[in-house]
Amino acid sequence: MKSHDELLGALSGMRRARIGGRRAPHKPLLVLWLLGRFVATGSTAVTYAEAEEPVSRLINDFGPAVTSRSRARERAAMPFVHLERSLWDLRDRDGSAIGPDAPERGNWLRTRAAHGRLRGEVEQLLSAPGALAATARLLLEQHFTPALEPIICNAVGLDLAELDDDAFCLPAQGKRRARRAGFAEEVLRAYAYACAVCGYDGALGRNPAGLEAAHVQWHTHAGPDEVRNGLALCSLHHTLLDLGVLGLLPDLRIQVSPLYVARSAAGQAIDALHDQPLAKPRPGQPALDVRFVVWHGRQVFKRPGAQAA
């Protein structure tokens, strides 16, 4: 791997893992965590024992939910073993290479003192001005939705504005799928410029303030830029929808994840939304398509009892 374009191409071609038909963003989250480690220490070298807790926590926070506590603690094992070897060098305590067919078990990796790092040529490419920020953006744009990008960056310790010393144009294979012009305005107009969850309709002059057009099936996961896949939401409820705190039933009643907890009265007000009806679009506007509701319920909503990943 001799150029940053090649690195971005390899990351773009990284196989999107799916477990039981559900998205499994384990590998991009591991790489993003390694990028944060690279910024903090100048190296991506890490033992599995060091990575297990923080990477598993990232996967629990930004991937589908699991119910098994033991599986939740060891979710880092899958990407630690299966990250593409063109990017990742994984070895045991004796320095012998560990192949991608190794068991995805935390205990197995800990017993063998498994340790890995991004390959030397990858670290060298990441050291170029602007390269690390461009790499992180590519992973965020391909695997997550925009509302989650600053939250994930904060969780892994990346400040992209600070890292972006030089502008870097992504190659064609790494560019985010363009959003259709007019989508946001069409969605906001369809819902009368009010949040479909709480009715918030604040504006500053003629411009909506804190009101956004949300994709129910994420744009990064083939969700169309159409009103039937959109909701007008206030910033808070947009973020909670994308995090999986809020979900929807096919009859368009709001669901609040049983995994959600809050201590303050303001936080507990979210619980009052459970089983409340979602606002309907204005007459003549397309209703939210149940196919996208089902996708969100399976891929994003934090639902106990979901298949372990």
Task: Give 29-57 pLDDT, tens digit per residue.
Answer: 999 999 999 998 999 999 999 999 999 99
Compute the distance between CA of residue 251 and CA of residue 261 in angstroms, rounded to an integer: 25
* Residues contacting residue 273 through CB under 8 Å, at least 6 positions apart: 197, 198, 246, 254, 256
Quick one: DSSP state of residue 171?
P
d(Cα 203, Cα 160) in Å, to the nearest integer? 30
At 220 the pLDDT is 85
Based on C-alpha coordinates, what's the Rg of the chain? 21
Q: Residue 294 and residue 120: Cα distance in Å, rounded?
A: 43
Does residue 86 register a pLDDT over 70?
yes
Q: How far is CA 162 from CA 122, 129, 135, 226, 298, in A?
A: 21, 11, 14, 35, 36
Considering only 44-53, 150-159, 275-284, which range has the smallest mean pLDDT? 150-159
CB neighbour burial string for 204-219, b if at least 16 within 10 angstroms, e if fewer: eeeebeebbbbbbbbb
Q: Which two tokens stand for residue 282?
A: 């204005």
What pLDDT sits at residue 245?
97
pLDDT band at 67 (very low <50, low <70, confident <90, very high): low
pLDDT > 60? residue 171:
no
Greatest extent of the chain over all pairs of C-alpha atoms, in Å: 68
Q: How confident is the model at residue 309 (pLDDT cuts 50, 70, 90)?
A: very low
Q: Is the pLDDT of residue 229 over 90?
A: yes
pLDDT at 75 over 50: yes
Q: What is the pTM of this model?
A: 0.73
89: helix, coil or strand? strand
**What is the rounded distance in angstroms from the CA atom of residue 5 to the CA atom of residue 1?**
9
